[in-house]
Structure 1
Amino acid sequence: MTSMDLDDDDIFDEPFDMREIGEGYLKSFCRQTVVAFFNQYGLISHQIYSYNDFIRYGLQRTFDSFGEYEIQPGYDPSKKGDSDWRHAKVKFGKVSVERPTC
């Protein structure tokens, strides 16, 4: 659908068709928007924000999504006796990341 209803401030009385804007106006608008974004936030701020968000929340969610692993039974030659077959379950806990050091 190409028409939008832009009557928030009663600027338009009818639905607005995006095709009426024109390619030149859209290119100019996009260029001005990009320049304004970089003037306000800089060139790599979005990458820094994304990294920080991953360290704060995403890394833990990733490990939490693994759930619990059951280690398949296997022979442990270091153990002697009747129960040579061992079973184990592994579940990751709280993940922490330290600041980098030089």
Structure 2
Amino acid sequence: MYLAANGRGLPLAVVLTPANVNDSTMFDVMLDVIRVPRLSAGRPRRRPKTVIADKAYSSRGIRAGLRQRAIRTVNLERTDQMANRAHRRSAGGRPSLRY
């Protein structure tokens, strides 16, 4: 089961899956299901401004998908990813975010 919640912890979307489904494969499905309600009249937004996630969602593919959708990400990074980037020195930097 995957749950997306807003900043107050209220659920925005729930996706039920079979037992052993990889987190990274379900991330795009979760983003497609999310509907962010508006305070005033109008249809709900389909794209959140920011995604806060844990280390399981720090893969290169997920970060690239969020950049394509112009969604900011605030999530922890695995230590092996930080070590690989440090090992590559100046060639290991992240692409700049353009919003």
Per the normalisation by structure 2, the TM-score is 0.23
TM-score when scaled to structure 1? 0.23
- Greater Rg, structure 1 or structure 2? 1
